Amino acid sequence: MTTEAGTPFGSGSALSLRGVLESTRPRVDQGERLERLHAYFLEGCPEAVKPALDEVLARARLVRAGCGDREVGDDVSSVFYASGAVVELASALELDEADIRGAAAAVAEACALPLSAARIVLFSQAAGNPRLLELPPLLAAETQLNLMIGFDVLSEVSLWRRTASGLECILTLGGDSEPSRRVRAEAKAVLRGRSRLSLLGGSNLRSTAVFRLGQPYAAVVGRLGSVQPEIADAFLAEAAACLSPVVEREQLLEHSAHREHMLVGASERRLMRLGFDLHDGPIQDVLALAADVRLLQQQVFPFVLEEYRVQMSGRFDDLNSRLTELDRELRELSHSLETKSVISRPLGEILHREIDTFSERAGVAATLEIRGDPDSLSSAQRITVFRAIQEALANIREHAGATSVTVRVRARRSAIEVQISDDGIGFEVERALAKAAQRGRLGLVGIAERVRMVGGTFELESFPGGPTTLKLTLPRWEPL
């Protein structure tokens, strides 16, 4: 791939762009380029995104220092920062075409580059940014392809994949309607390895294949924007190279999701069987025991001296009350092991019911805050969130001595975050977990293991005297 000046570069090649970045036009004063770029991106930026841009700026300063040559370092770090800022805005769904064009213009001004060169350099760095691999594959692919729309390289673009039932359009951008038959035919030809020109002649469609394991896996088809065909082909080739790891990650996630579905299905069937066993075994035994206790009370009563009968009745009433409470707890446990409702009913409804039950039983003020849409989670993730909150509330009820509990669930595009906080007595985390493991009480350890199995992270913060906060984060995945 070459620029208009004929200088070669590819994905991740900004650190070798000295020849491209040198120019006789006036430059922005050294040492000010990053700060001016940062100020440009901060203008009108949502507050939630500003910390991420500050982190990109800090890394860009390290890149500048690592280049040795100050002038080249300013150029390279400016491209590094702009591409990182574009990706962060896209991740937060705050990137539009005006931002993309403005970013290219800002890089061109900061580095004294022709606008066309600034566009391809910025596209190469942004589309290949490792941060995209942290996003759901569909969002990452949308970000990469949307850059070409913003640069007016393509006026519309679509991403296609061959499936068992035929050809599937995964994503379309820039068009006002569904892709045409000619676009579909182009995608089919690309996936079959046929020449575009032999099929459509001098069409303004441009396309490329995205390879996986040496075979065409997906096809990118676009309609030319305001650039020459060879420039569009250069962008498409770069896009295909950057889409390849996204496609590979999607394949791995899809395979992992299938295995996860099988494992979760097996474990949840075992839990349901345990629930049935509880209902048909220990719960029935408790009922029989309660009946025996009532019979014993009737049989013993005539033989008790009159002055002790009130005391004896009170003791038997206590036993009956404890057996009734034990029966209720076993039934609740049996019901909680049935996960079919967790999968089929809205997650928010199930969590509200769990919070209300906890508050009523424990006498603790509990609140639930849900932001975003948590119902797009996979079955395993929904069960993990539900079980984690359920187990955390059980621990709070038994050990914390809390007066208030707050559960926060935030569903973002890239992850779902759960935080459970209480104002209880707190504890030393490491010592408490070690003792719990020794005694076979693996509630919190079990939560951590569940979260780890679905690729998430688990944190527990507590100190003697409180408060205690449990946090877990699960990655989101939307299949292509």
- Percent of the chain residues topping a pLDDT of 90: 3
Average pLDDT over every residue of 168-197: 80
Average pLDDT over every residue of 279-292: 78
Fold type of domain 345-480:
Heat Shock Protein 90 (3.30.565)
Backbone angles phi, psi at 165, to 5 degrees: -95, 0
Give the separation between CA 183 and CA 167, rounded to whole angstroms: 12
Q: Which helix (H) or strand (E) holds 67?
A: none
Whether pLDDT at 292 is above 80:
yes
Whether pLDDT at 64 is above 60:
yes
Judged by DSSP in three states, 3 sits in: coil
Backbone angles phi, psi at 155, to 5 degrees: -90, -25
Give the separation between CA 162 and CA 247, rounded to whole angstroms: 13
Average pLDDT over every residue of 342-370: 82
Backbone angles phi, psi at 180, to 5 degrees: -75, 170
Whether pLDDT at 475 is above 70:
yes
Question: pLDDT by residue (tens digit) across 141-154?
Answer: 888 888 998 888 89
Which position has the higher pLDDT, 477 or 325?
325
Judged by DSSP in three states, 153 sits in: coil
Whether the upstream peptide bond of residue 467 has omega within 30° of 0, thus cis, is yes
Strand partners, 368: 407
Whether pLDDT at 478 is above 60:
no
- Where is mean pLDDT largest: 369-373, 376-380, 474-478? 369-373
**Angle of the 137-150 helix axis to the 97-111 helix axis, nearest 10:** 60
Supply the pLDDT for residue 332. Answer: 66
- Percent of the chain residues topping a pLDDT of 70: 79
Supply the pLDDT for residue 152. Answer: 87
Give the separation between CA 74 and CA 30, rounded to whole angstroms: 7
**DSSP string across 3-50:** -TT--B--TT-GGG-HHHH--SSPPPPTTTHHHHHHHHHHTT--TTTH
Among residues 125, 101, 124, 121, which one has the least CA distance to residue 18? 121
Fold type of domain 135-253:
Beta-Lactamase (3.30.450)
Give the separation between CA 217 and CA 235, rounded to whole angstroms: 19
Which position has the higher pLDDT, 260 or 377?
377
Tell me the pTM: 0.54
Supply the pLDDT for residue 96. Answer: 80
Average pLDDT over every residue of 101-128: 86
Question: pLDDT by residue (tens digit) across 312-342?
Answer: 888 888 888 888 888 777 776 666 555 555 5
Strand extents, DSSP E, 225-267: none
451 in Cβ contact with 458 (< 8 Å): yes
pLDDT band per the 50, 70, 90 thresholds, residue 352:
confident
pLDDT, averaged across the chain: 78
Supply the pLDDT for residue 381. Answer: 77
**DSSP string across 406-445:** EEEEEE-SSEEEEEEEE-S----HHHHHHHHHHTT--HHH
Give the separation between CA 215 and CA 217, rounded to whole angstroms: 6
Whether pLDDT at 54 is above 80:
yes
Supply the pLDDT for residue 9. Answer: 31
* Torsion sign across C-alpha atoms 146, 151, 155, 158: negative
What residues does each domain of the chain span?
1-132, 135-253, 345-480
Terminal CA-CA length for the chain: 28
Strand partners, 168: 161
Structure tokens at 27: 């430059």
3 in Cβ contact with 115 (< 8 Å): no
pLDDT band per the 50, 70, 90 thresholds, residue 384:
confident
In our burial notation (b when 16+ CB lie closer than 10 A, e otherwise), range 155-167 reads bbbbbbbbeeeee
Supply the pLDDT for residue 45. Answer: 81
Average pLDDT over every residue of 405-434: 84
Question: pLDDT by residue (tens digit) across 84-114?
Answer: 888 888 888 788 888 888 888 888 887 888 8
Residues 6+ apart with CB under 8 A from 31: 74
Burial of 252 by CB count in 10 Å (0-12 exposed, 13-18 middle, 19+ buried)? exposed
Supply the pLDDT for residue 23. Answer: 41
